[in-house]
Amino acid sequence: MPLSVIELTQKLIACPSVTPKDEGAQVFLAEELTKLGFECHHLPFEDVPNLFARLGTDGPHLCYAGHTDVVPSGPSDEWTFGPFNPEIKDGVMYGRGTSDMKGSVATFIAAVSAYLENNEPPKGSISLLITGDEEGPAINGTVKVLEWMKENGHVPDAALVGEPTNPSELGQEIKIGRRGSLTGMLTVKGKQGHVAYQKLADNPLPRLAKMVDALSTHVFDEGSEFFDATNLEVTTIDVGNPATNVIPGSGSATFNVRFNDHWNGENLSQKIREILNSVSTDYEIELGDSGDSFITQPGEWTDTVLKAVEEITGNKPEYTTTGGTSDARFIYKYCPVVEFGLINATIHQINENTKTDDLEALTKIYERVLEIYF
């Protein structure tokens, strides 16, 4: 009898695996996967637990990538049932990770269980790359597991990431790429002084304001075939000056840019400096990108996932690249990758939840993906 996706999801949610703690989640997964015939490898890097499991040794090799870590719950007393006490009410399961993304991990394992029961063993390999660092710095998780996979002959031919991709119902979107992300911390220094003796001071804030305005109003591009226009958002401006009669000695601003395939971290950083230099060269800036944009061109692999989604849901999903970053930004360097999972309407919120019907439907979608792929 195939594994129950409801029971799998509940057992995973009951593990309070806030990044980077695991609290037994991956041990439980390894036990269930071993019963299905997978060879499991626990791959801790620093304080981050990771799991790689593979069924079969030949190609083609399909890899599911996901994470068992979750963001902090927030005030637990504001949850209806508690963040790590998965309860079902009126067909809805509540708990941290129901959508992002323990529910998806459970559905894939349940799908593999059903596939193995209803079909001959796959003529190829199925694997899972499960990290405990997706919601954190993403340094000792998927990146290092991928390196280990390459060194040990486990590079997949295609990958499916189970991030929650649908806004309100299953079958709306398949992510075939993501925008890149770059963060900047801008500091402008002057000289502190009394506001009544302004000539003895140097107020940095007018220069900072002009620089922030130049950055936030700049049109970087008009977008491209699969991407929206590059967008810069100022997230904070800080002075740290509680006094009304003191000219501050410095001010800072932090911003984030979500950029499309017209840019990479290097040439976007150069462009930002050019924009700032057009106002003033008297500033300091730290720039860091967490990944460039990427795209999996529509083709056989994207069509496989689309066909499965359409057959089960009756909806024809749109290929999109919107949303935040995911670990797919690391996987695309090794093989074609797409993302499809549950509903993202409540992720990272109090009372995160998912419909049990959606868990069952996603299990059928993933099982159908396996049937078409193999």
pLDDT at residue 324, as a whole number: 84
pLDDT at residue 115, as a whole number: 98
Same domain, 284 and 302: no
How much is the pTM?
0.90
Token readout for 238 is 């800080």
Same domain, 139 and 185: no
Token readout for 250 is 């410095």
Tell me if residue 134 is catalytic.
yes
Give phi and psi for 142, each to the nearest 5. Answer: -55, -40
Same domain, 332 and 261: no
> 261 is in which domain, residue-wise?
180-291
Mean pLDDT of all residues in 24-40: 97
- Percent of the chain at pLDDT exceeding 70: 100
Same domain, 273 and 323: no
Q: Tell me the per-residue pLDDT of 62-111, one tens digit each, with 9 for 90 and over.
A: 999 999 999 999 999 999 999 999 999 999 999 999 999 999 999 999 99
What is d(CA 284, CA 263) in angstroms, rounded to the nearest whole number?
22
End-to-end CA distance of the chain: 22
* Alpha-helix runs per DSSP H in 125-264: 142-151, 205-217
Identified catalytic residue from 32, 69, 135, 367: 69
Look-up: residue for tokens 């992510």? 175
Q: Is the pLDDT of residue 227 over 90?
A: yes
Q: Tell me the per-residue pLDDT of 285-330, one tens digit each, with 9 for 90 and over.
A: 999 988 889 999 999 999 999 999 999 999 999 999 998 889 999 9
Same domain, 130 and 35: yes
Identified catalytic residue from 22, 100, 133, 134: 134
Confidence of residue 188 (pLDDT cuts 50, 70, 90): very high
Same domain, 348 and 298: yes
Same domain, 171 and 131: yes
Same domain, 353 and 276: no
Q: Is 303 exposed, middle or buried (0-12, 13-18, 19+ CB in 10 A)?
A: exposed
**ω into residue 60 within 30 of 0, thus cis?**
yes
Mean pLDDT of all residues in 155-159: 98
**Contacting residues for 308 by C-beta, under 8 A, at least 6 apart:** 365, 366, 368, 369, 372
Token readout for 19 is 């990044």
Q: Is 241 exposed, middle or buried (0-12, 13-18, 19+ CB in 10 A)?
A: middle
Tell me if residue 286 is catalytic.
no
CATH of the domain at 214: 3.30.70.360
Kindly compute the dihedral angle of the four CA atoms of residues 204, 209, 211, 213, in this order, to the nearest 10 degrees: 180
* Helix H or strand E segment including 183: strand 180-189
CATH of the domain at 170: 3.40.630.10
What is d(CA 286, CA 187) in angstroms, rounded to the nearest whole number?
9
Q: Which of 231, 183, 9 is nearest to 101 (CA)?
A: 9
Mean pLDDT of all residues in 226-232: 95
Phi-psi region of 367 (alpha: psi -120 to 50; beta: other; left: phi over 0): alpha
Same domain, 319 and 352: yes
Pairing, β 284-291 against β 173-175: unpaired
Residue that finishes a domain, picked among 248, 265, 291: 291
Question: What 3-state class would DSSP assign to 189?
Answer: strand
